[in-house]
Structure 1
Amino acid sequence: MENLILLQRHANHSATLWINRPDKRNALSVAMWAAIPARVAEAIADPDIKLLFVRGAGGVFAAGADISEMPKVYATAEAALLNDEKIQGAMKALEECPKPVIALIEGPCVGGGCGIALACDLRIGVEGSRYGVTPAKLGLVYGAGDTRRLIQAVGISMAKDILFTGRLLDSAEALACGLIDRLVTSDQLETVAADYAAKIGAASVYSIRAQKQILAMLRGGCDDAEASRALFGASFTGEDFKEGFAAFMEKRPAQFPVR
């Protein structure tokens, strides 16, 4: 399954997690869901990787779950719940990654594919991409974690619209409602991705990781002032602040340590 979920490292302190099944429109099998956490863990463990992109091969992000597996996967409630554990494990790995995760979306981004995109920190869509969450068309239910991420992106009213109808949104509507954060042409995608890699690669790893922790606390409804204050206070005694302040005073780019 390694060839279907790939981690490709780049020279600019970034890597791409590829959903690599273009002949099946990157439909995600049970084994592919199960492979995602290990690839994310590999990116986390590599100190040279500061940013993780998620992308589908062949100009398609992901058309959702592998329909051919459904008779087996959903044969019983127990089997369905076991499969959902693998899906939620993949979503959790992406959402809780301490490094920034950006989805680069081309073509269809539907069902489980849209769920993966929503588990990323940011979503950049290409003009002509399409989005949908379609359990209502199959008589299924979108779980609490996936629904929370959808609400956080588009708000509760739009989430109801998307979930109740199962309709597909074009790229312009996806941008307008907040399902994606930025819309670019296909010619711009690589340049925009490289720009994010350059900016995040030059930023403080400590700052980004601490900020992601605070954002995660607030996302979960926990306003832990003490934990936030501890992260804030520790930053002033860290090596990153010393370098950042020195660079500011000397009017030069900061050279933060890679860790």
Structure 2
Amino acid sequence: MVDELLLDRDGAILRVTFNRPRRRNALTWEMYDALLAVCHQVEADPGVRVLVLRGAGGEAFVSGTDIAQFAEFASGEDGVEYERRVSDVLEGLTRLRVPTIAVVTGWCVGAGLAVAAACDLRIATHGSRFAIPIARTVGNTPSLATIALLADQLGVGRTLDLLLRARAMTAREAHEAGFVCEVCGDEEIVERTAEIERRLLEHAPLTMWAAKEAMHRLRTARLPDDTDILRRVYGSEDFREGVRAFLAREPPRWGGR
């Protein structure tokens, strides 16, 4: 397992920490692959009954994908492959037989928001913020599967609001939307998470699995192919300009091409 993904086994609970605090836990390709490997590990271990995801450092759960990696993209096919990698991880999380908890402290952005959405329950501190700012940063697009996941968890209107206005949603808004099940202070987050863990360990595993599986089937039954959308956006001049400007810390000049 990569050093940026720390595992802590506590009886029937497996806690995973995204450990790149200097980069606000931005995900690398290796971290995506390691998280998918964790999903396979959980499925193969009947002793694990709860999976918890959290971010190190207190500033972020996950601040998205590490944008520096996008500079390596040569065509739209690279974007298609990237989104498939993300979708594989989200699918791995949503299909787990055990309940999953995202513990959000600070920023939960882009792919980080998608990872949190793929979990069954989310708890956040009062100062946490949720965003998908790509319309004003790198100019890429999530896959249809990711957008469908966000729309199911947040609602269509709020998902479009976050995507089009590229604004940040507060923890209070996320709670009012039903996305976050509980909001608490920084000093309470560990205790409140532990209480949720204890409750889940007391509940019927098959009932919880059935609820999760039903939600997954309802969401994925309607998804069409999105390869043409991903190829067009990730192969565009705007995407290359967005990545260049982001890494140079300059405002992007969008051309719509």
Q: TM-score range by the shorter chain?
A: 0.7 to 0.9
Residue 143 (structure 1) shift: 1.6
Stretches of 4+ moved more than 6 A in 1? none
Residue 78 (structure 1) shift: 1.5
Match of 1:246 in 2: none
2:180 aligned counterpart, secondary structure: coil
Q: Deviations over 1:64-115 (max 9, x none)?
A: 110221210x331122222222111111111111110110000110111111
Please give the residue correspondences for 1:118-197 in structure 2 after superposition, counting only pairs within 5 Å: 118-137=117-136, 138-197=138-197
Q: Distance in 2 between matches of 1:154 and 1:115?
A: 11
Match of 1:212 in 2: 212
Q: Distance in 2 between matches of 1:172 and 1:206?
A: 32
CA contact (8 A) 1:135 1:142 kept: no
Is residue 2:41 matched to residue 1:49?
no
Residues 1:25 and 1:212: Cα distance change in structure 2 (over 3 Å): same
Unpaired segments ≥5 residues, structure 1? 223-259
Q: Deviations over 1:21-80 (max 9, x none)?
A: 1121101111211221111211222222111011111112011110221210x3311222
1:84 aligned counterpart, secondary structure: helix
Residue 221 (structure 1) shift: 5.3
Residues 1:30 and 1:215: Cα distance change in structure 2 (over 3 Å): same
2:130 aligned counterpart, secondary structure: strand
- Among the aligned pairs, what percent are the same residue? 29
CA contact (8 A) 2:2 2:30 kept: no
CA contact (8 A) 2:151 2:159 kept: yes
Match of 1:236 in 2: none
Match of 2:231 in 1: none
1:139 aligned counterpart, secondary structure: coil
Normalised by the length of structure 2, the TM-score is 0.80
Whichever residue aligns with residue 68 of structure 2, its letter is S
Residue 10 (structure 1) shift: 1.1
| Higher-RCO chain (CA-CA 8 Å, sequence separation at least 6) | 2
1:61 aligned counterpart, secondary structure: strand
Match of 1:33 in 2: 32
Match of 1:5 in 2: 5
Unpaired segments ≥5 residues, structure 2? 223-257
CA contact (8 A) 2:103 2:124 kept: yes
Q: Distance in 1 between matches of 2:9 and 2:212?
A: 22
Residue 134 (structure 1) shift: 1.9
Residues 1:177 and 1:206: Cα distance change in structure 2 (over 3 Å): closer
The 10-residue stretch of structure 1 (145-154 or 213-222) with the greater mean CA deviation from structure 2: 213-222
Is residue 2:203 matched to residue 1:203?
yes
Normalised by the length of structure 1, the TM-score is 0.80
Whichever residue aligns with residue 164 of structure 2, its letter is F
- Aligned-residue CA RMSD in angstroms? 1.7
CA contact (8 A) 2:149 2:219 kept: no
Residue 8 (structure 1) shift: 1.5
Structure number with larger C-alpha Rg? 1
Q: Distance in 1 between matches of 2:216 and 2:120?
A: 11
The number of residue pairs the alignment matches comes to 220
